[in-house]
């Protein structure tokens, strides 16, 4: 068992379920009463997690708070899944399906610039560099929202249909170099074995939508993602005599331009694909043409039928350009994230529930996103639905809102309660039931 009782302090002190606090969740209370009652604690959790962020596979403090809260709620708790993951099982008092609700817990190597009173000042070593650590993608909000839903549902468990599997996942942003983690490792370590969910739901906070809005899309909602590494091997020579060697810098430059043209000129534009090169490494001096250049990039696709064709075009383009110049080119495309696919029938039932949750005109249908999510591994195992929770203040224009992963990223905390309401009602409203 993790050291789940050492780091609780005031964050759990105000959350005691003894006495008056428990009455808010009495069996006679409505679901909405219970949701409203938990809001102050959800905000407190979110601020605490924000002030104390932890990188992937290092979420020990966060996991300890989560595990302790789930234990106090009387759930069956398993810790240490995929290093720091936490699972909690709530057995409801009515027949029904098993529903998995997932939140990710990890932060990013970003130095915060928000100026919030609870802004992170945490620093750590990341890939050999001293970096700040920040919840710049909103996983602090996700964790607090799911804890809030756990408290609401556990307080009325006699009315809960079936079972609820609360999944608090580490390393959604990727495991540290040389390590494994995230959803794939949680599944390998039995996260969905017992009980096996009939459906899985997850949300992500985004500034593209205002607080009070939810965005939901059936089918391919987020892209499949693969890393791309291309090595161009030439023949080193003096930069004054380029004809005496084979210039891998020039070859790499032509490869970059050609790869960027593939999505727009060779793939069906109605099915978005992206090929982006984010790093070029090669050479040490201005007057030496090096032996080798390495390109690092990402590939995104939203239709499984395009995946292998896109990969083949990338390999062919890079290697043929190299051959035409006398260079040797190798292309590596490691296994990545699958498409985050919202199962249509489950999405339709979830839409009915979420329309009631947000009210008229507040449930929107966005275009697919070319970002990637490792919730896709969970949704490959059981039918899944992934949706977006708006967290932009109505006073901020969409063009001015700091994006996820920005050092200025912020959350309008009025949106947190809607997140709790959505996750709770997906269980109580029967979204997973045929």
- Per-residue pLDDT tens for 157-213? 999 999 999 999 999 999 998 999 999 999 999 999 999 999 999 999 999 999 999
Q: How far apart are CA 403 and CA 392, in angstroms?
A: 10
Question: Among 199, 224, 213, which Cα is nearest to 388's?
Answer: 213
413 given a catalytic annotation: yes
Burial 13-23 (b: 16+ CB within 10 A, else e): eebebeeebee
Q: Collect all residues with Cβ–Cβ distance below 8 Å to 106 and sequence separation of at least 6.
A: 54, 55, 56, 57, 58, 59, 139, 170, 171, 172, 173
Q: Residues 230-237: what's their mean pLDDT?
A: 98
- Average pLDDT taken over every residue of the chain: 93
Pick the catalytic residue from 76, 189, 229, 413: 413
Which residues lie closer than 8 Å to 129 by C-beta, 6 or more apart? Answer: none
pLDDT recorded at residue 160: 97
- Say which residues have a Cβ less than 8 Å from residue 1's Cβ, sequence separation at least 6: 67, 79
126 annotated active-site: no
The pLDDT score that the predictor gives to residue 127 is: 86
d(CA 236, CA 248): 9
Would you place residue 29 in the very low, low, confident or very high pLDDT band (cuts 50, 70, 90)? low
Instruction: Compute CA distances 218 → 269, 385, 386, whole Å.
Output: 20, 8, 9
pLDDT tens for 273-319 read: 999 999 999 999 999 999 999 999 999 999 888 999 999 999 999 99
pLDDT above 70 as % of the chain = 93
Q: Which of 337, 341, 343, 386 is catalytic?
A: 337
> What domains lie within the chain, and their CATH numbers?
9-222+340-428 (3.40.630.10), 224-332 (3.30.70.360)
């Amino acid at each position: 068992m993790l050291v789940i009782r050492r780091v609780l302090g005031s964050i759990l002190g105000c959350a005691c379920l003894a006495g008056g606090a428990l009455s808010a969740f009495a069996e006679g209370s409505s679901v909405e009463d219970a949701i409203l009652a938990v809001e102050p604690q959800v905000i407190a959790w979110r601020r605490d997690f924000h002030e104390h962020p932890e990188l992937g596979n290092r979420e020990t403090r966060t996991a300890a708070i989560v595990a302790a809260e789930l234990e106090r709620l009387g759930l069956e708790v398993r810790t240490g899944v995929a290093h720091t993951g936490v699972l909690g099982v709530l057995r409801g008092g009515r027949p029904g399906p098993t529903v998995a609700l997932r939140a990710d817990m990890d932060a990013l190597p970003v130095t915060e610039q928000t100026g919030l009173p609870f802004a992170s000042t945490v620093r750590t070593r990341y890939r050999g560099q001293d970096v700040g650590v920040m919840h710049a993608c909103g996983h602090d909000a996700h964790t607090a929202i799911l804890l809030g839903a756990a408290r609401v549902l556990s307080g009325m468990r006699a009315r809960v249909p079936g079972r609820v599997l609360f999944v608090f996942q580490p390393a959604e942003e990727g495991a540290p170099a040389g390590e494994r983690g995230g959803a794939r490792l949680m599944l390998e370590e039995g996260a969905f074995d017992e009980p096996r969910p009939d459906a899985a739901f997850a949300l992500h906070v985004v500034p593209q939508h205002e607080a009070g809005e939810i965005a939901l899309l059936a089918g391919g909602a987020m892209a499949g993602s693969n890393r791309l590494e291309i090595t161009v091997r030439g023949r080193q020579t003096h930069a004054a005599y380029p004809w005496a060697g084979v210039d891998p810098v020039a070859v790499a430059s032509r490869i970059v331009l050609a790869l960027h043209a593939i999505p727009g000129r060779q793939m069906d534009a109605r099915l978005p694909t992206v090929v982006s090169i984010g790093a070029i490494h090669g050479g040490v001096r201005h007057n030496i043409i090096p032996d080798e250049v390495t390109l690092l990039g990402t590939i995104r696709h939203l239709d499984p039928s395009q995946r292998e064709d896109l990969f083949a075009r990338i390999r062919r383009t890079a290697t043929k350009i190299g051959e035409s110049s006398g260079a040797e080119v190798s292309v590596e495309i490691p296994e990545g994230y699958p498409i985050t696919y919202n199962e249509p029938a489950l999405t339709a039932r979830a839409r009915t529930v979420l329309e009631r949750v947000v009210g008229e005109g507040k449930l929107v249908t966005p275009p697919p996103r070319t970002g990637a999510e490792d919730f896709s591994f969970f949704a490959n195992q059981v039918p899944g639905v992934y949706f977006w929770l708006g967290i932009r203040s109505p006073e901020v224009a969409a063009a001015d809102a700091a994006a996820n992963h920005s050092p200025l990223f912020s959350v309008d905390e009025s949106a947190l309660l809607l997140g709790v309401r959505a996750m709770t009602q997906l269980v109580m409203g029967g979204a997973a039931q045929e």
